[in-house]
Amino acid sequence: MTSERLIEITRPDDPRIAEFRDIRERDLTGRESRFIAEGTVVLRLLAGAHEAGGDFVAEKVLLLKNRVAGLADIIDSFAADVPIYAAEAEVLDGIVGFHLHRGVLALGRRTEEGGMNAFLDQLAEQALVLVGCGISNHDNMGSMFRNAAAFGADAVLLDESCCDPLYRKALRVSVGSILTVPYRRQLSGVELLAALAERGFAIWSLSPRGAVDLRDIPTSERMALVVGTEGDGLPPSILAAFSSVRIPQAPGLDSLNVATASGIALFEMAARNGRI
């Protein structure tokens, strides 16, 4: 079956694979919600995303020819109308603009994103969410989703000033968790937290100068952990309006990076929230 649906690409300028050209220089996000997925793990998640009722569909796949045999089961699980292209290493490198070691690429699309309020309305009574405000670093974005997945968070909520999680590097660092953990990126940080507070969420903003020690936060049915940028942290307007939490650390030191800090705080909150 696999070999029948393969479409061979022999020239880097073939228009059928134009979206994969020079991918290092381009960022597809923001253009009709399309994104580049890389690697076997993410390819497998994307193949199953539509059936799982998720927010993503695959549009096309581009593989190094000698990877095809080992990926037969994944290839077969893509819907029949998703074209599977294959190219020799020389052609593939000419398409993407560098040596693509892994040889596994796909073009995906996020299906229509509903509004934040409707999304929040359907969260379960017992819920744990991770909120990002002003996260602009793609590594940190990817790590936040990975941590959210590891600790069973129900959703990641991003304010409108955050970078797009569908950027190639964020998706790779997340090991595909961006395709599995439901998320929205809408509203300002303050609007977002107000919407959560209205719905009974205990809101804990993470800060090195947070008022409450992480080990002392009370258990509640609905919990939201809020993290800000690594440089400036959360804006004073947010820290003043909601409860703040700190990770106790040795004195006199730079704070942890936001990826690690969100992991530690989510671990503690997931334990209190019955997630782990």
207 is a contact residue toward a copy of itself (CB under 8 A)? no
Which one of the spans 20-28, 163-171, 217-225, 249-257 is the region binding a copy of itself (CB under 8 A)?
Answer: 249-257
62 versus 153: smaller Cβ distance to a copy of itself: 153
247 is a contact residue toward a copy of itself (CB under 8 A)? yes
* Among residues 149, 158, 162, 202, the one that binds a copy of itself under rule CB under 8 A: 149
- For residues 26 to 55, the per-residue mask of contacts with a copy of itself, x marking binding by CB under 8 A and - elsewhere, is ---------------x--------------
Beta carbon of residue 79, minimum distance to a copy of itself (angstroms, whole number): 23
186 is a contact residue toward a copy of itself (CB under 8 A)? no
Beta carbon of residue 248, minimum distance to a copy of itself (angstroms, whole number): 4
150 versus 190: smaller Cβ distance to a copy of itself: 150
17 versus 128: smaller Cβ distance to a copy of itself: 128
* Among residues 82, 92, 239, 259, the one that binds a copy of itself under rule CB under 8 A: 259
9 versus 49: smaller Cβ distance to a copy of itself: 49
182 is a contact residue toward a copy of itself (CB under 8 A)? no
How far from 91 is each of 16, 22, 27, CA to CA, in Å?
Answer: 14, 12, 21
Strands across the sheet containing 84-87: 6-8, 84-87, 56-64, 104-110, 34-38
Question: Over the range 150-167, which residues count as b (16 or more CB within 10 Å of their CB) and which as e?
Answer: bbebbbbbbbeebbbbbb
Question: What CA–CA distance (Å, rounded) separates 248 from 213?
Answer: 6
271 is a contact residue toward a copy of itself (CB under 8 A)? yes
Give the residue from 79, 118, 87, 90 showing the smallest Cα distance to 105.
87
Residues 82-141 that bind a copy of itself (CB under 8 A): none
Which one of the spans 95-103, 112-120, 148-156, 193-201 is the region binding a copy of itself (CB under 8 A)?
Answer: 148-156
Displacement of CA 35 from its chain's centroid (Å): 12
In this structure, what token pair is assigned to residue 242? 């909601």
DSSP 4: H
In the 3-class helix/strand/coil scheme, how is 200-268 assigned residue by residue? CCEEEEECCCCCEEHHHCCCCCEEEEEECECCCECCHHHHHHCEEEECCCCCCCCCCCHHHHHHHHHHH
Strands across the sheet containing 212-213: 183-185, 155-158, 127-132, 222-227, 202-206, 243-246, 212-213
60 versus 275: smaller Cβ distance to a copy of itself: 275
Beta carbon of residue 214, minimum distance to a copy of itself (angstroms, whole number): 8
Q: Which residues bind a copy of itself (CB under 8 A)?
A: 41, 143, 146-147, 149-152, 175, 215, 247-250, 253-257, 259-261, 263-264, 267, 271, 275-276
